[in-house]
Structure formats: structure tokens, C-alpha cells
Structure 1
Amino acid sequence: MAERSPAAPRFAYKASRLKPLRAFCQVARLGSVSRAAEALYLSQPAVTLQLQALERELGVRLLERTGRRLLPTREGEVLYALARPLVEGIDGLGASFHEQLRGLDAGELDIAAGSSTILYLLPGLVEAFRERHPDVRLRLHNVTGAGGLDLLRSDAVDFAVGSMLEVPADLDYAPVYNFEPMLIAPPGHPLADKPELRLQDLSPYGLILPPQRLTTYRLVDLVFQRNQVPYTVALEVGGWEVIKQYVAMGMGISIVTAICLTEADRARLAVRSLSAYFPSRSYGVVMRKGKYLSPQARAFVALIRPDLFAPRDHDQSGHSAR
């Protein structure tokens, strides 16, 4: 005699788990089948069937009458704690979805960045973002160093765009762009056409550098010290535009990152690569670990690095492909 296959389990009333869970949550909340039926626009017998189906499926009693109210049993309390966020999430899915869509075209976005990033890297990105999301109020916070980190850690900004040499443990840094270190000198300078440019060749000429508190100054000093090459700082001044102007006027030479050099600059200055001695500088997105990014923040980051929020590919074994 052929062995009978086990009967398929009978689940919720009319083959839906959501309906019995929704009915149970309403009864647990309101304490009455009749009030739950009114809230769900169902008949009382329909709600009763939903509850009976759920109790059959789980094999426990979920509700008990205390006076005129129906209250969850101990097992019912456990189920209510589990089911309520699920039911509310499903019931609110449509509204949440449309709210998220509206969030792409409205709201506020705060980005921290240094002067060079705001001046040279962000204009095209800001223009593209404004075209796509004209209703978002965008604020660029011009900060440097510790000031930007403070804004990130206090959630005063959504994220930062800039360069980081050392990444603190509480932050994530996703580099996107790389820029070479460049020597700039006035036209006709002895270093402009020197066939082989060595670090020692810069030693006789005064450097125009940003203030000592900034990363660029510290990096220049580190490279010269490691190579045991003396150097002289002729002038400290903030802002790449000022530095380029002073170099063009013949007040000294400078070491800059290629991010700040435009076609017009290359026409009025002598520009030479120093990649043999100085590291390239990366620029990218800096975020506080664990921070939730708003839809408008994610939209801006996607312009910089489209793959940052893309789901990873998985191989057939279920492991992420690297």
C-alpha cells in the first residue's frame, strides 16, 4: 500500500498570513472583535475566523477575555510584539514609498568640504544635482581639518567630500578621484624646462605654501625631511587661487595638487609633475559609520560614486564576488 504523503500544513484563513496577523493586532490593540472589525472594514465573523485560523496554525491560545475586553495571553503578547511592526510596515508601505520618492525632490542636504573641493571639484556635481533635484535646499559648509570632522560626528552635515590621509576608526572614506602633485613656477623660471627635475633642484627657491596647520604644508615638510633636502618657505598664504597668483607674479614657486590647476593656469604657469617624490592625493566621500543617509544625500553621493550603494554581485555559492 502506497505510503501517504504528509498533509500540507493549513495556514491562515483564505491562504493569507497577513490578514490573520492584522486582525489579531487590531483585536489586541482595541480589546474587542467588533471594534477590530470596524477598523478593518470586515464583519465580526470574518475577524473571528482569522483569529481561529491563526491559533490553529500556531497551536496556542492567543487571546483571553478579561471582563469586557479581550487581552493577549502570554503567547499573544510575544506574537503581538513580533507582528505589530511587520503589519504596520506592510500597511504603511505605500505611504512610505511615496514619501521616499518625495524626499528625492525636497528636503535639505548639508555637505562639508574644503575650499579647494568646493571651488574645483564640486561645481559640476552641484550643477548636475540641482538640475535633477531643484527643490532640495543644498548647503556647502566650507571647513578644513578638524572642523569638518566635528560636523560629521555631530551630524551637522550629511557627509563630507575631500581628501583624507588618515581615516579615523569612526569614519568611512570612499576615495574616488586622484590628483598628481605638481610644481608650479612663473614662466621662464629655471625649473620650467629643466630636463630632469630632482627634489634638490627646488632647494634654492622660496616656496609659497598654505598655512602650517593644513595637511599640504605638513606633507611638503615631511617629504623634504625624509629626503634630507633643505627648503625655504618664502610666504605662507591661504587659498590656492592666491598662491597661483603670487607664483605667476614671480614671488616664488609652489607645490600644489593638480585638482586646483585649470587650463588657464597651465597657460600662465610652468607646471611640472612631482609624482616621483610626493604621493598623489585622493578625494572622495567621508561619512560617519552607521549613519543613515537621506534620499537626497544618497542621490548626491551617487553622482560622485554610483557603485557605492549598489548591491554586490554574488556567485553561485552565495559569497560576494570580489
Structure 2
Amino acid sequence: MAAPSRPRFAYKGDRLKPLRAFCQTARLGSISRAAEALFLSQPAVTLQLQALEREMGVRLLERSGRRLALTREGEALYELARPLVEGLDGLDAAFRERIRGLDAGELNVAAGSSTILYLLPKIVEAFRAAHPDVRLSLHNVTGAGGLDLLRSDAVDLAVGSMLDVPADLSYEPVYRFEPMLITPRRHPLADKPEIALQDLSPYGLILPPQRLTTYRLIDLVFQQNRVPYTVALEVGGWEVIKQYVAMGLGISIVTAICLTDADRERLAARSLARYFPSRTYGVVVRKGKYLSPQARAFVELIKPALFERGGYDDTGPSER
């Protein structure tokens, strides 16, 4: 025998109205005050409360002195319904706030120091020329900090290098940079016809701190090839490393992104692509995120500019 169907009530077609009436009555403790807050008549609020109680099949409110108080069941429903009602009632304001940046012409981009210093200047220059009214903010962050900004929508996108791409992010690599050995111009390795990994052993390396991926990757390659090496100095920042190498304090292994024309006048640079993997740089976004027109314009500037300089693919916002 089929179970009897539950009766249908007129208010069930619009559940928001009785839930809103219920939440206001629970908050204010009075039908009359709830009616004032909702700009409705008291009978209308009463009907909505009665319909909700019939639909739920329980008593939600009871008289407690001069106020209406929640029953145990009413407290459970209020706990569930309040965030829903408040969220819907505040949807318009939240939506306006969310798109405020679009209306105001804002663009927030996360990137590491190397990306900001070496990769983005011409991109930013072109974007500012094409979109002078857009307020562009570059957030200098590394590693998890950049991922957190992406996931919280504090930035529209990120530009950088990723080795491992989390499942909730999308990474579009655009440019590949070779690993380079840098030495002073008059160093014995500067003009050596062929560079083998063993050739680096007699000379102290100047490397980024051990916590960064670059150091760990270099150590891994030397260990795998069973080649001994020494670290003369640990220091952060490619500019500092290049300066110390130019001063003759050691040699280093860097990514070609940091080498400028001026650097090649004071440093000798040799490719180590035979031993070390290349690094790619590209655009990182949160999967499913809507990109504003200004964000899409920024991305479109990155792609042709990078391809023009010889880039191609592999795997966000991190400074290694």
C-alpha cells in the first residue's frame, strides 16, 4: 500500500517568504515587529508561519511571556535557515561588491620576484598603454602565498613557474627557460668548449637558500650523477647571486629568465640543459573562475609576447 502523499500548501511554491518571516520573527521575538521589518501586514506574516509549521509538521514558535520563542525544532530550523535567508537577502549587495573591481577597472596579479623583475615589465608597459584606466596591482608573493590568493579570489590570476599543479588550479605554460651556468668573464669555465657536470666540482657554488626548489633540484642532479660539489655561499635573489658571481666569489646555476643583456657583459653564461631541466613560466588561474575583460586582455598580452621571445610549454605562482 502506497504511503499517503503529504498535502501541498500554497506557500510551498515560494519557500523563501515563509523562511524569511520565520527568521525575522525568531530574531525579533514578535510577529508585529517582524511584519514591520518585512513591510508586510501581521496577518500575512502569521499565514506564512502557519504554512511553514504545517509543511515541517512541527511547532516552531511558542509564547514565552510577551515574546515568541523558538521551540527545540524551531532552533534547529533557524540554525539552518538563517544563513540561507541572509545570503539570499544580501545577494545583490554581495554581487555588486564582487563586480565592483570590474566596474572600477581593477586587475590583481600575483607573481614572484623573478617574474615581476624579468618577465612582466614589457607586459605591464603594453597593458598600461592599452588600458590606462585600469588600476593594476602586482602582488609580490611566493609559493603557498600565491596559491592562497588565487583560491580566495584576492587576485584574478597569477604569472609564474609551477612544477606541480594542484587539481583546483589551471596552469598554461607559455615560456621555457634553460638552466645556465654563470661565471666571471675570465673564469676557467668561461671559454671551455664543453662543460661537464664534473667540471663544476672544484668551484664553490653560490645558490639560493636550501628551502627553495632551485637548491633542492641542483642537489638532486649532483647526487644522481654522483658528482661532488661544494656550496660557497647561500643567498636569496638572482640579482644578488649575479653580483657575487661577477665579483669572483663563486659560480652559480640560474634560470635564463634572470639574465639580461647587461649581465652578459660582465658574466659568462653556458647552458646546462644537458643536466638540469628547463623551467617554464605561464598563467595560473583557479579552475572555473570567470576572468574579467581586463584579466583576459592581460593574458592575451602575455601569450604573444612570450611566444615572440621563443617560449613554449610545460607546467603558478611561485618563486623557486
In the superposition, the TM-score normalised over structure 2's length comes to 0.62
Q: Which residue of 2 aligns with 1:279?
A: 277
Q: Which has the higher contact order (CA 8 A, sep 6+)?
A: 2
Query: 2:262 maps to what in 1?
Result: 264
SS of aligned partner of 1:305:
helix
**Structure 1 regions of 5+ residues with no counterpart?**
1-99, 307-322
- The C-alpha deviation readout for 1:146-174, integer Å capped at 9, x for no partner, is 11111111111111100111111111110
Task: State the partner residue of 1:110.
Answer: 108
- Which amino acid is 1:244 matched to? K
Match of 1:297 in 2: 295
Secondary structure in 2 aligned to 1:201?
A: helix
Q: Deviations over 1:55-105 (max 9, x none)?
A: xxxxxxxxxxxxxxxxxxxxxxxxxxxxxxxxxxxxxxxxxxxxx9x959x
Assess if the C-alpha contact under 8 Å between 1:172 and 1:289 holds in 2: yes
Instruction: Confirm or deny: 8 A CA contact 1:145 1:214 kept in the other structure.
Output: no
2:182 pairs with 181, 184, 187, which one?
184
Letter in 1 for 2:130: R
Give, in whole Å, the separation in 2 of the partners of 1:225 and 1:114. Answer: 28
Cα-to-partner distance string for 1:110-159 (whole Å, 9 max, x where unaligned): 11111110000000000000001111111111111111111111111111
Contact 1:210 1:217 in 2 (8 A): yes
C-alpha distance after superposition, 1:247-275 (max 9, x if no partner): 00000000001111011101110111101
* Distance of 1:137 and 1:257 partners within structure 2: 31
The letter of the residue matching 2:183 is: A
Aligned to 1:63: none
Give the distance between the partners of 2:278 and 2:293, measured in 1 at CA: 32
For 1:141, which of 139, 142, 146 is the aligned residue? 139
Matched residues in 1 for 2:198 and 2:215: separation?
18
Contact 1:109/1:139 (8 A) holds in 2: yes
- Name the SS of the counterpart of 2:262 in structure 1: helix
User: Counterpart of 2:65?
Assistant: none
Amino acid at match of 2:117: L
After TM superposition, the runs of 4+ consecutive aligned structure 1 residues lying more than 3 A away are none
- Among 208, 212, 217, the residue aligned to 2:210: 212
- Percent identity, please: 83
Aligned twin of 1:55: none
Cα root mean square deviation, aligned: 1.8
Aligned length: 206
Q: How does 1:32-111 map to 2 (within 5 A)?
A: 106-111=104-109
The one-character-per-residue Cα deviations of 1:186-245 (angstroms, maximum 9, x if unpaired) are 121111111211001111111111112222112111111111111111111111111100
Q: 1:103 to 1:151 in 2, by over 3 A?
A: closer
